[in-house]
Amino acid sequence: MKVNVFTSIDDPELIEGWRKLETEYDLFPQSRYFWTAGWWYQLRGKQSFRGVAVTDPAGNFAGLAPLCMESQAGVRILRSVPVRFGDFYDFLIGKTQDQEAVTKTILHYLESFGQWDVVRLDRLREGSAPCRFIPKEKPWVSRISNRFFETSLQWNRWEDYLDSMEATVRRNIRARLRKLEGSGRIEFLCIDNLRDFQIVENKIRELYTSRLRAAGRKAKPERELRFRNELILSGFSEQCLRLFVLKLDGTVIAYRLGFVADRCYYDWNISFDIRKKALHPGICSMAYTVRYLLEQGFRAMNLMSGIYPWKSDFSPGGHTGTVESLMCSSTRLPGLLYKSFFQHR
């Protein structure tokens, strides 16, 4: 296998190889080109792009590590491209490829320390290629930065899923659904295409911004909201997003927006009408979403970064995974100092 390094995220050869990996292997959407490139232009600062591609003898991409170079206090760092808080980062590796061999080829390049003192990979979810194949021992150091819930959707029916919950949780969910359904006409929709999303687009944005205000959080700049919306539109064009909408008497009171890949649903962004809080629209939208996923034969559900009681409630028998940062340094003084900082921060 051969390593090719690209210094521009707009390089046509890089884009072609990247997109081919996506279309052939149903890779995790947050590793796709449209998502990574979008956040790169939003978050990159003074960093410079480095795409480390592994090619087979025929010149086809077998894997790709989207990375970037930056300098901190004179320390040269080769690191994973910046991603939105709460998102995951991973290498892109074709599913028919030797995952370990491709990862180790990338790893061999990273450990060459040609023009950098430190390698740092952030927002790695448990089970990602770096977490599986990079040794968490010298010269690599690991640090847990967050956790997530993922549960296997092993049940054939919604009632079977409910029965697997703790009795108190099960009673609460049923009671909240009854209360909501007794309050008016309920509609629950799954939107998987751009045209239908655009019909509810303004209402979704309104719920998102009003929830931020209600939580006392600073409103997002208009430029960032437009950018975020453009990425979401691209996600629907790429057919890797699902929007679940809960309506009461024809009005949207909650939504859940998430990614789908390999028959797994990733719950990415949620909000609800704070004026309907007494009806528990957030919990009810989660219940309707799980029921839909079971009916459609999804194999798993990932509630993404953050450990909260409601996530635990909806993950009976689920797995609590880690989100990690991995780093290694050269034996040069700047690298060793940074490694000490990383370990004791």
Which segments within 8-110 are labelled E, that is strand? 48-55, 61-72, 75-80, 92-93
pLDDT, tens only, 37-94: 999 988 888 999 999 999 988 888 999 999 999 999 899 999 999 888 789 999 999 8
Partners of 243 in the β-ladder: 191, 257
Q: Which of 307, 289, 265 is nearest to 173 (CA)?
A: 289
pLDDT at 117 over 70: yes
This prediction has a pTM of 0.91
CATH code for the domain defined by 154-298: 3.40.630.30
Least confidently predicted of 47-56, 241-250, 316-325: 316-325
pLDDT digits (tens, 9 = 90+) for 258-304: 999 989 999 999 999 999 999 999 999 999 999 999 999 999 999 99
Whether residue 101 is predicted with pLDDT greater than 90 in this model: the reply is yes
> Could you say which architecture CATH assigns to the domain 2-146+322-344?
3-Layer(aba) Sandwich (3.40)
Taking the C-alpha atoms of residue 257 and residue 255, their distance in angstroms, rounded to an integer, is 7
* Summary mean pLDDT of the chain: 91
Domains 2-146+322-344 and 154-298 share a fold: yes
For the chain, give every domain's residue range. Answer: 2-146+322-344, 154-298
Q: Report the alpha-carbon distance of residue 93 to residue 112 in Å, rounded.
A: 21
pLDDT the model gives residue 186: 98
Q: Name the token pair of 238.
A: 């790429």
Cβ partners under 8 Å of residue 288, min gap 6: 188, 244, 246
Query: Under a CB-based contact definition with an 8 Å cutoff, are residues 10 and 44 in contact?
Result: no
Residue 277 is given by DSSP the state G
CA within 13 Å, CB half, 267 = 27
Task: Judge whether residue 217 has pLDDT over 80.
Answer: no
Q: pLDDT band for position 175 (50/70/90)?
A: very high
Residues in Cβ contact with 7 at an 8 Å cutoff, skipping those fewer than 6 apart: 48, 49, 50, 51
Instruction: Using pLDDT thresholds of 50, 70 and 90, give the confidence band for residue 219.
Output: low
Distances (CA, A) of 244 to 29, 241, 256, 289, 319: 18, 10, 5, 7, 24
Question: pLDDT band at 325, cuts 50/70/90?
Answer: very high
Higher pLDDT, 31 or 248: 248
State the pLDDT at residue 135.
Answer: 79
Q: What is the pLDDT of residue 196?
A: 95
